[in-house]
């Protein structure tokens, strides 16, 4: 590979540490440092007419990119009141789905070569609904996906070599937020005060990601509790639900420990039956509108002798006690918290995998880019 691992033991770790820079680069596409209260004039400037006609968003992706899409759904609907559906490409392509007129179809793919995602896009183009606009959110400008879509929104993550996606994911989230803001501005569905607040918060992200990287030592200590475990649960609510899914995906793909991500409110409908002292439960707990509900879910688990490993906001009032371990994350704005909380789950999975001696960058049976069905 032309990319060098440098001082890092694995590409994955190097790529985790590149996130502040990668996110800063992606932000610069749309935000002018000197004028943080508005988007840059040249950001998606040629696509304003297309974006202004959008009445529904359909997101299609696979794997980690699908989880980025799930976060974007929350953003499109809650910030913009624009309806948004998100689906894994391997299902979408075969179920003869309804694509609404005036849909913006967003295909999210690091590689731009994932067979299922490309096929789903081609399926939609064949249906040819009125007012269709297709957009590739992609890390590879020369990819098939970019060639076959109307709009190209790049992630400027740089080459990602570790099979487990890290910096591609966080830059996808940033680019999706920029797209939400641009579409919201064009359609006047986001007022200028909201827009400038979010732009200000976005500019803090590189610094906040650095701060999350400083949690490496306590997260490594936490990872020791997972080394000999068979199964693990990740919990989150709202914007953190997709991050819980992503945490479980990261852990299973590189450490080979069975892991499931769950919306914490669904615990009582099944996974609570699994809880015992041998199944660690990871919880994503930023200070947001769901925190009190989440604490109640944590209590349900704790009362059943589950051992909790919590990434909590420093102002969450969650305190360590028996069978409750806490790593504190700096306070961040609720809307962008999923980006910041991605880092701790990446580091946790990484350290568990290293302790178990697996091939972190090239996990068994998996490929970086799945170009066949």
3-class SS at 63?
Answer: helix
155 lies in the site for ligand G6P, by CB under 6 A = no
Which of the 8 DSSP states describes residue 31?
Answer: B
58 lies in the site for ligand G6P, by CB under 6 A = no
**Binding to ligand G6P in span 244-283, by CB under 6 A:** none
Query: What's the CA gap between 370 and 149, in Å, rounded?
Result: 19
Which of the 8 DSSP states describes residue 267?
Answer: G
> What number of other Cβ atoms are within 10 A of residue 46's Cβ?
8
Task: Determine which residue in the list 26, 47, 85, 117 makes contact with ligand G6P, applying CB under 6 A.
Answer: 117
Task: Determine which residue in the list 12, 137, 163, 245 makes contact with ligand G6P, applying CB under 6 A.
Answer: 163
**Binding to ligand G6P in span 197-216, by CB under 6 A:** none
Q: Shortest gap between Cβ of 372 and ligand G6P (angstroms)?
A: 12
Contact present, 330 and 298 (Cβ < 8 Å): no
Respond yes or no: is residue 368 known to be catalytic. yes
Q: 44: burial class by Cβ within 10 Å (0-12, 13-18, 19+)?
A: buried
Query: What's the CA gap between 44 and 152, in Å, rounded?
Result: 9
**Binding to ligand G6P in span 95-114, by CB under 6 A:** 109-111, 114
Q: Shortest gap between Cβ of 72 and ligand G6P (angstroms)?
A: 14
Residue placing its CB nearer to ligand G6P in the complex, 258 or 330: 258
Q: Shortest gap between Cβ of 249 and ligand G6P (angstroms)?
A: 8
Residue placing its CB nearer to ligand G6P in the complex, 184 or 242: 242
Q: Which stretch binds ligand G6P (CB under 6 A): 24-32, 61-69, 208-216, 234-242?
A: 61-69
190 lies in the site for ligand G6P, by CB under 6 A = no
165 lies in the site for ligand G6P, by CB under 6 A = yes
Q: Which stretch binds ligand G6P (CB under 6 A): 161-169, 174-182, 240-248, 347-355?
A: 161-169
Query: What's the CA gap between 280 and 86, in Å, rounded?
Result: 29
Query: What's the CA gap between 254 and 357, in Å, rounded?
Result: 10
370 lies in the site for ligand G6P, by CB under 6 A = yes
Task: Determine which residue in the list 26, 64, 171, 342 makes contact with ligand G6P, applying CB under 6 A.
Answer: 64
How would DSSP label each residue in 113-168? --HHHHHHHHHHHHH--TT-EEEEEES-TTSHHHHTSSEEEE-------SSS-SHH
| The dihedral sign for the CA sequence 9, 12, 15, 17 | negative
Residue placing its CB nearer to ligand G6P in the complex, 120 or 163: 163
Q: Shortest gap between Cβ of 232 and ligand G6P (angstroms)?
A: 19
> By CB under 6 A, how many residues form the interface with ligand G6P?
16
3-class SS at 228?
Answer: coil
Nearest residue to 169 via CA among 85, 109, 87: 109
**Binding to ligand G6P in span 330-369, by CB under 6 A:** 366, 368-369
Identify how many contiguous H helices and E strands the chain contains and give both numbers: 13, 10
The 279-318 contact track toward ligand G6P, x by CB under 6 A, reads ----------------------------------------
Query: What's the CA gap between 368 and 64, in Å, rounded?
Result: 11
Q: Shortest gap between Cβ of 52 and ligand G6P (angstroms)?
A: 28
User: Contact positions toward ligand G6P, by CB under 6 A?
Assistant: 62-65, 109-111, 114, 117, 163-165, 366, 368-370
Q: Which residues are catalytic?
A: 368
């Amino acid at each position: 590979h032309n990319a060098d691992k440098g001082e890092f033991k694995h590409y994955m770790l190097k790529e985790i540490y590149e996130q502040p820079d990668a996110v800063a680069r992606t932000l610069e596409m749309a935000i002018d440092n000197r004028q943080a209260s508005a988007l840059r004039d040249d950001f998606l400037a040629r696509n304003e007419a297309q974006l202004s006609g959008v009445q529904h968003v359909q997101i299609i992706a696979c794997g980690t990119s699908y989880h980025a899409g799930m976060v974007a759904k929350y953003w499109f609907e809650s910030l913009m009141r624009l309806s948004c559906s998100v689906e894994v490409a391997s299902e979408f392509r075969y179920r003869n789905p309804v694509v609404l007129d005036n849909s913006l179809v967003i295909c999210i793919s690091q590689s731009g070569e994932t067979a299922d995602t490309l096929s789903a896009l081609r399926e939609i183009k064949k249906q040819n609904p009125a007012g269709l606009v297709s957009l590739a959110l992609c890390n590879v400008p020369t990819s098939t996906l970019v060639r076959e879509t109307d709009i190209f929104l790049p992630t400027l993550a740089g080459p990602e070599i570790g099979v487990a996606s890290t910096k591609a994911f966080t830059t996808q989230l940033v680019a999706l937020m920029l797209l939400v803001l641009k579409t919201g501005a064009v359609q006047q569905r986001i007022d200028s005060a909201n827009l400038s607040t979010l732009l200000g918060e976005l500019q803090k992200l590189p610094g906040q990601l650095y701060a999350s990287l400083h949690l490496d030592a306590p997260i490594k200590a936490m990872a020791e509790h997972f080394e000999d475990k068979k199964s693990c649960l990740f919990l989150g609510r709202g914007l953190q639900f997709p991050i819980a899914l992503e945490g479980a995906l990261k852990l299973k793909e590189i450490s080979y420990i069975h892991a499931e991500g769950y919306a914490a409110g669904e615990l009582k409908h099944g996974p609570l039956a699994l809880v015992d002292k041998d199944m660690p439960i990871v919880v994503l707990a930023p200070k947001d509108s769901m925190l009190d509900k989440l604490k109640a879910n944590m209590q349900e688990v704790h009362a059943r002798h589950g051992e909790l490993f919590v990434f909590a906001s420093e102002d969450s009032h969650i305190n360590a006690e028996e069978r409750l371990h806490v790593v504190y994350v700096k306070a961040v704005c609720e809307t962008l918290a999923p980006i910041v909380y991605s880092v701790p789950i990446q580091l946790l999975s990484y350290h568990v995998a290293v302790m178990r001696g697996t091939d972190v960058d090239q996990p068994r049976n998996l490929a970086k880019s799945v170009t066949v069905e």
